Amino acid sequence: MSDSSPAVSGHAAALAELKQQVRAGRFAAQRRVNTELVRLYWGIGSTILQRQGDEGWGSNVIGRLAADLRAEFPEMKGFSPRNLAYMRAFAAAWPDEQILQQAVAQLPWGHVTVLLDRLDGHALRDWYAGQAAVHGWSRNVLEHQIRSEAHTRLQAAPTNFAEVLPPGDSDLAQQITKDPYVLDFLALDGDAKERHLEQALVDRIIDTLRELGEGFAFVGRQVHFDVDGDDFYVDLLFFHVEQLRYVVIELKTGKFKPEYLGQLGFYVALVDDKLRRSQHADTVGLLLVADKNDAVVRYSLAGQQTPIGVVSYDLLPPAVRAALPSEADLAAALATETGTLES
């Protein structure tokens, strides 16, 4: 049967239609989740505004609320003081309780923060929100359009964007899909297993410290850093009291991937810059993985300048290596916790 036969052509057409249905369905589901997240953030912001007005809450209350919410929902990364301040600003900018009927409710939260940061007038915010929703603008495109004052150029310009850009393929659809706040809101993101593993380790922190060796002090889990408005979270942070150095530990329940080292190196640099003092030794990073190809690990470590170890501590100085637990000890601890989670 040739590729040009009616049966093959019919199959291709049906497959194309089904793919579009799947994309459209996924986008619709993601948008509903995103809208619920916007509803939640508007509600939190509205509550803060109301309490500040009715009960005289001071500005310090946002920091306390952020700490309390993060303690209650450690898997959600949207409860930083900065983000709660955005929620308050969001509720102030759109005080109408019918917020979900407006274009801004269709945008990822990152887009909303751009509107709050870059624009003052309510009319302009609504215009850019509507354009971003209709045309599927990514966050970067939205920022560019605001900087270039698109409202002075495009209001009268007809386009066919809505007709020719499938919603399931648009930049906005992709950003809603990848928005970490949406994923955290559902607690369904790819790091869920790692967070369960972290929680298991924290729940038995005394045993974990014993397995890590003498001298380790637990600093925190999902330690938050704000880098010019972007939020980052270190899986586990320890301090070695004998060597006077921070130890950043990242947990991955799957097989080692080279890109994990870039993330860990970034966290090591972050801790080094934000927490390390002049009397402290260099911060080191440890990557715990469930499985690894030693050849891939060697190649990946070859280009690294940061003191990082993938269980076997290939880049760590001998003195540091001697103070840390052995590869066998860490592998056994990881296997024990992973087995507990899977049973």
- The identity of residue 85, as a single letter, is A
Please tell me the distance from the alpha carbon of residue 228 to that of residue 237, in angstroms, as a whole number: 21
Please tell me the distance from the alpha carbon of residue 99 to that of residue 105, in angstroms, as a whole number: 7
- The identity of residue 169, as a single letter, is D
Relative to beta strand 216-227, strand 230-240 is: antiparallel
Q: pLDDT (tens digit, 0 to 9) for every residue of the chain, 343 residues total?
A: 455 555 666 788 888 888 888 877 777 777 788 888 889 999 999 999 888 877 677 667 888 888 898 888 877 878 888 899 999 999 999 988 777 788 898 898 989 999 999 998 888 999 999 888 887 788 888 888 898 888 886 654 444 444 544 554 556 666 665 566 665 666 554 555 556 655 665 555 545 555 556 677 888 877 888 887 778 888 888 888 888 889 898 877 667 888 888 889 899 999 999 999 989 988 888 887 767 788 888 888 887 777 887 754 344 455 555 555 555 555 555 455 445 444 4
Q: Please check whether residue 87 is in contact with residue 42, taking contact to mean a CB–CB distance below 8 angstroms.
A: yes
Hey, what are 58's tokens?
Answer: 């001071």
Q: How many helices (H) and strands (E) does the chain have?
A: 16, 5
Q: Please check whether residue 287 is in contact with residue 324, taking contact to mean a CB–CB distance below 8 angstroms.
A: no
Would the pTM of this model clear 0.85, i.e. be above it?
no
